[in-house]
Structure 1
Amino acid sequence: MRILSKLLPASKRMLVITSFGIVMLLTFTTLMLFYATQKEVVIVENGKESTVNTHANTVEELLGKVGIKVGVHDALSYDKDAKIVDGMIIEYKQANKVTVTIDGEKKSYYTVADTVEELLEDEKITVSDHDKLSHQLEDAIHDGLNLSVTQAFQVVINDGGKEKNVWTTGGSVEELLKSNKITLNELDKIKPGLDETITKESTISIVRVEKKKEEVSDTVAFKTERRNDSSLPKGTEKEIASGEDGIVVKTYEVIFENGEEVSRELVDEEVEKESKNRIIAVGTKEAQNLVTLSSGSGKEFVMTASAFTATCSGCSGYTATGINLKANPDMKVIAVDPNVIPLGTRVWVEGYGEAIAGDTGGAIQGMRIDVHVPTKSDAYKWGVRKVKVKILD
C-alpha cells in the first residue's frame, strides 16, 4: 500500500481501496452463501458413521462423490435417485460373498447378513439340531466365508436284540457309539467294525457276550454187587447192603449271547459223595428134600420163590391168563411152571398167602415160582427164598 500511495495520487488511491473492499465483500458473501446452502447428511458405511455437507442432488450423486460404488447385491437405505435432504441418514452395506457347501454341493451367496444365523434365515437354508454346521450361529459374516453343512441321517443300532434309531452325520462306528454313550464289554461282538465309516445304509449290530461259571450236581447211580454165600440155600438171594447213589459236582463255563446260551464246556469235576454198591448174597448151599408130595388137593411143595412187579420195564401188565395186574396191583398172583402147577390153580404160599397160578415165565421152570408184588421196593424186600406151596384145589 505504501508503494501504491507513492505511485498514485490520493484520489486514485481511494478509488482502488474501495474497489478491493467490494471484491472481498462479494467473495465472502458468496462463500457464506455456498456453505449456508449445503445439506448435512450422515452416511453409515458398513456400520461406520460419517457426516458430510453436500450440494449433491441425489443419493447416487452423493455416494459417487464420497467414493462409494453400490453393487447389485449391496444394501442401501434409499433408492439411488432419491433427493438429498438436510439431516438425511443414508445407510450403505457392502454385500459379502459366502460359499455354502451342503453335503458336498457348493453354492455361492452374496449377503448383507451380519451373522451365520441371519444368512441361513435369509436364504431359507434349514439346519436341524442333528446336522453338523462348520460355524456357530452367532459367528459374524465376512467376505470369502466358507460355510459347510453336513445333514444328519438315521441309522439303526441293534444292541443285544433291542433296536433303536439314532441320528448321525457320518464318521466311524466307534464315534457313533461314543456320541450315543454306548459302551462295549471285552467279549462283545460288533458289525461293522469300530473303524468302519457310517453310511445311510449302515445297520450296527452288537452281540452282548457273557461268560459265566455254573455248578451242576449230578447223581452217580450205585452198582449192584453179587457175592456167593454158602450159608444160604442154592437159588436164594438176600440183600445185605442197600445201594446208595453218589453225588458229583460239575463246573461248566457257559457262554451267553444276547442272554441265550450258545456253548457249555466242562472245566472241573469234584466228587461230593461217593456211591455205595448194593450187595446181594447169592446162596450156594444145596437144598435138601425140595419136594413133599401128597395126592390131589393139599399137595405141598418146597419151592424157590422170587418176586416180580407189573411195572417193570417192557412189561405189558397182563399175565399169561389175561389178568391185568396194572389195574389190580394188589392181586395175589404167582407165575408157575404149568407142568408142575397147572394155570388157574388156587394155591397157598408161605409168607405170601392165597394166590392164583395165573402167569408163566421163561426163568420159571420146575420147582420155582414168582410171586406178584405191587412195587419194585416190595420185590427187593422179598428177594429170593425157599417157601412152602400148598395146592388148595
Structure 2
Amino acid sequence: MSNEANNTNSSKIFKGKSLAVTIATVLLFAAVLTFAIYEGTKNTVTVTANGEQEEVRTHAETVGAFLEEQEIEAGEHDFLSHSKETPINEDLALEWDAAEQYNVTVDGKATSAWTTENTVSEILAKADVELTKHDKVSPALDEQVDEETTISVEKAYEVTIQDGLNEKKVWSTSTTVADFLKQHKVSLGKLDRVEKEMDELVLPNSKVKVVRVEKVTDVVEDTVKYAVETKKDDSLLKGNEKVVQKGANGVVKKTYEVIKENGKEVKRDLKNEKVVKEPTKQVTAVGTKTVVASVSRGAQTKAAPAAKATPATQAAPAQEKKQEKAAVKTASVEKAATPAPAKAEPAKAQPAEEPAGGKEFYVSATAYTASCTGCSGITATGINLHANPGLKVIAVDPSVIPLGSKVWVEGYGNAIAGDTGGAIKGNKIDLFMANKSDALSFGRKQVKVRVLN
C-alpha cells in the first residue's frame, strides 16, 4: 500500500513539474515573441554625432523624442540635420554636430561666436563682424582654427599721405608710421624727412607728411658794377661832363649749394666765388671852366645905325664863330654898334630860322629878366646879364640840356644854355629877356627846341 501510494505521489509531482515547465516555456516563448514583435516594429536611426556614426533602433516617434531617449541635448547653435518635430516613420539618417565657442577681438574689444564651422570667415560671419577689403584679419580668412585660437580683427580707416607735392587718401589699420610707409611702398631718400616720429601710431583721419629734400649745386654769373672816377678838367665848361674812359661791368662766377624742399628753394650757401672778368673803371672829366662874357664897344660907324644894329643880332653870330674855331663851349660876345645911352633898351631882333640837325624835343618855356626879385644878374656860368642885355641865354636843367650847349628855341632863336633855376627841372626852360614887359607877356608856352651841340 505504501509503495502504490508513493508511486501515485511521484506521478502527481512529475505531472506538476511538467505543467510548470510547459507554462514557463509558453511564457518564455510569448516573451520572446513579444520581444521579437517589439523589436521588429522599431525603426533604425543612423546617428552621426560630432563625426562619429552609430545605428540606434527606436520606437521614438519624432527626432526630438529620439534625442531625449538618447539623452542628447542639442543647443540652439548646434547643427541638426532634421528639426526636432520631424517624425520617425522609417529608418532615418540623423546628423548632429555640437557648436563650439570661438573668441574674437575687434580693434581690441573682445566678443565671441558659437558655431559648428571652423574657418575664420565663417566664424566672423557668425559673430556679425562686417569686413572690408582694407581690414586686417589674423589668422587669414580661409584658415581653419579651433576653439583655443583667438581671431583678431583691425578695422581700416582713412589716412592722408602727402608725399612731396602729391596728396592722396589711403586706408590703414593701427600701425606705426614706419610700417605705414612700408605698407604703402613709400621709400625715403637719405635727405628726406617725415614730419612725424617713425614709431608714432597712425591715427584715423590723420596726415603723414613726407618732405622730399634735395641738395643741388647752382652756378651763376653775376655782374660786378664798374667804379666811376671823376677828374676836374679846366678845358670843359663848368657843369659839363665828358667820359674819358668808358666803364665796363665785370663778371664773377658764383657756386652755390642749394637746398630744396618739395621743389622749393629753402636755403642757399655760397661755396665758391671766381672773378671771370675784372670790371673796367669809368673815368669822367668834370668841367671847371667859367664862361666870361666880354663886351667890346667899337667906334661909331655910319653904316650901322644904333636902331637897326642891336646887341642881340650881333652877339649870336660872333659867339657861334668863336665857339666853332675854339672847339670849346665858351661865349664871347662882341657888341659892335653905335654907342647908346647905358639905360637904353636894345631893339628886338627877328628869331633865327630853325637849323637842321641836333636833338629835337618840346619843352615848357617861361621868361625872366636880370632884375627879377632875388636875381643877381650873373648866371650860373658867370654871364653878366646886366652888362649884356642883348645876349640870348636860357636857364635849363643840366641833366636835360648840358650847360654851355648851343640851343635853338622856337620863337626865340639861337641861344646859350648858360643858367639854371630852382624851378627849372626836367623839360622846362626859362628865356632871358632884357625887357620886363616882354618877359611878363611871354607867359608859359610849349615850344620846340634843338640842342645843336
> TM-score band (shorter)?
0.5 to 0.7
Q: Which residue of 2 aligns with 1:389?
A: none
Q: Which residue of 2 aligns with 1:118?
A: 122
Shift of residue 361, structure 1, vs aligned partner: 4.6
Select the residue among 151, 164, 170 that pairs with 1:147: 151
Bigger Rg over Cα: 2
Shift of residue 277, structure 1, vs aligned partner: 2.7
Select the residue among 272, 277, 293 that pairs with 2:276: 272
Structure 1 window deviating more from structure 2 (233-242 vs 75-84): it is 233-242
Structure 1 window deviating more from structure 2 (52-61 vs 97-106): it is 52-61
Shift of residue 81, structure 1, vs aligned partner: 5.5
Deviations 1:18-70 (A, max 9, x none): 96998997787566545533322221223444333334444345445656332
Q: Which residue of 2 aligns with 1:131?
A: 135
Tell me, yes or no, if structure 1 residue 54 matches structure 2 residue 99.
no
* Residues 251 and 342 of structure 1: CA distance in aligned 2, closer, same or farther (over 3 Å): farther
Tell me, yes or no, if structure 1 residue 220 matches structure 2 residue 245.
no
Tell me, yes or no, if structure 1 residue 360 matches structure 2 residue 419.
yes
Equivalent residue runs for 1:85-124 within 5 Å: 85-124=89-128
CA RMSD of aligned residues (A): 4.6
Q: Are the equivalent residues in 2 in contact too, given 1:234–1:282 (CA < 8 A)?
A: no
Q: Which residue of 2 aligns with 1:345?
A: 392
* Residues 112 and 202 of structure 1: CA distance in aligned 2, closer, same or farther (over 3 Å): same
Q: Which residue of 1 aligns with 2:195?
A: 191
Shift of residue 149, structure 1, vs aligned partner: 1.7
Q: Which residue of 1 aligns with 2:329?
A: 305
Tell me, yes or no, if structure 1 residue 250 matches structure 2 residue 254.
yes
Q: Are the equivalent residues in 2 in contact too, given 1:319–1:358 (CA < 8 A)?
A: no
Distance in 1 of aligned mates of 2:159 and 2:382: 84
Distance in 1 of aligned mates of 2:181 and 2:390: 85
Q: Are the equivalent residues in 1 in contact too, given 2:329–2:404 (CA < 8 A)?
A: no
Q: Which residue of 2 aligns with 1:369?
A: none
Q: Are the equivalent residues in 1 in contact too, given 2:102–2:123 (CA < 8 A)?
A: no
Q: Are the equivalent residues in 1 in contact too, given 2:104–2:152 (CA < 8 A)?
A: yes
Deviations 1:136-164 (A, max 9, x none): 22233533442222211112223334432
Q: Are the equivalent residues in 2 in contact too, given 1:59–1:83 (CA < 8 A)?
A: yes
Larger strand share, 1 or 2: 1
Q: Are the equivalent residues in 1 in contact too, given 2:405–2:417 (CA < 8 A)?
A: no
Shift of residue 204, structure 1, vs aligned partner: 1.9
Distance in 1 of aligned mates of 2:74 and 2:242: 125
Aligned amino acid, residue 135 of structure 1: P
* Residues 276 and 318 of structure 1: CA distance in aligned 2, closer, same or farther (over 3 Å): farther
Shift of residue 320, structure 1, vs aligned partner: 8.5
Q: Are the equivalent residues in 2 in contact too, given 1:335–1:358 (CA < 8 A)?
A: no
Distance in 1 of aligned mates of 2:194 and 2:390: 77
Q: Are the equivalent residues in 1 in contact too, given 2:119–2:145 (CA < 8 A)?
A: yes
Aligned amino acid, residue 38 of structure 1: K
Shift of residue 267, structure 1, vs aligned partner: 1.4
3-state DSSP of counterpart to 1:187: coil
Aligned amino acid, residue 419 of structure 2: T
Shift of residue 269, structure 1, vs aligned partner: 1.0
Tell me, yes or no, if structure 1 residue 160 matches structure 2 residue 164.
yes
Aligned amino acid, residue 360 of structure 1: D
**What is the TM-score with the length of structure 1 in the denominator?**
0.65
3-state DSSP of counterpart to 2:122: helix
Shift of residue 351, structure 1, vs aligned partner: 10
Q: Give the count of matched residue pairs.
A: 328
Aligned amino acid, residue 173 of structure 1: V
Distance in 2 of aligned mates of 1:50 and 1:246: 109
Aligned amino acid, residue 269 of structure 2: E
Q: Are the equivalent residues in 1 in contact too, given 2:404–2:416 (CA < 8 A)?
A: no
- Segments of 5+ residues of structure 1 without an aligned counterpart are 1-8, 311-316, 323-333, 363-371, 383-393
Distance in 1 of aligned mates of 2:98 and 2:162: 53
Q: Which residue of 1 aligns with 2:4?
A: none
3-state DSSP of counterpart to 1:206: strand
Aligned amino acid, residue 143 of structure 2: D
Shift of residue 373, structure 1, vs aligned partner: 9.0
Q: Are the equivalent residues in 1 in contact too, given 2:407–2:416 (CA < 8 A)?
A: no
3-state DSSP of counterpart to 2:329: strand
Deviations 1:197-245 (A, max 9, x none): 11225322233222222222111223345679xxx97558875643322
Q: Are the equivalent residues in 1 in contact too, given 2:104–2:111 (CA < 8 A)?
A: yes
Equivalent residue runs for 1:75-94 within 5 Å: 75-80=79-84, 82-94=86-98
Q: Are the equivalent residues in 1 in contact too, given 2:219–2:254 (CA < 8 A)?
A: yes
Identity percentage of aligned residues: 31
Aligned amino acid, residue 392 of structure 2: T
Deviations 1:89-137 (A, max 9, x none): 2121101112222222222322233433233334432111111212222
Structure 1 window deviating more from structure 2 (69-78 vs 94-103): it is 69-78
* Residues 188 and 321 of structure 1: CA distance in aligned 2, closer, same or farther (over 3 Å): farther
Select the residue among 65, 73, 76 that pairs with 2:77: 73
Shift of residue 359, structure 1, vs aligned partner: 4.8
Distance in 1 of aligned mates of 2:208 and 2:389: 82
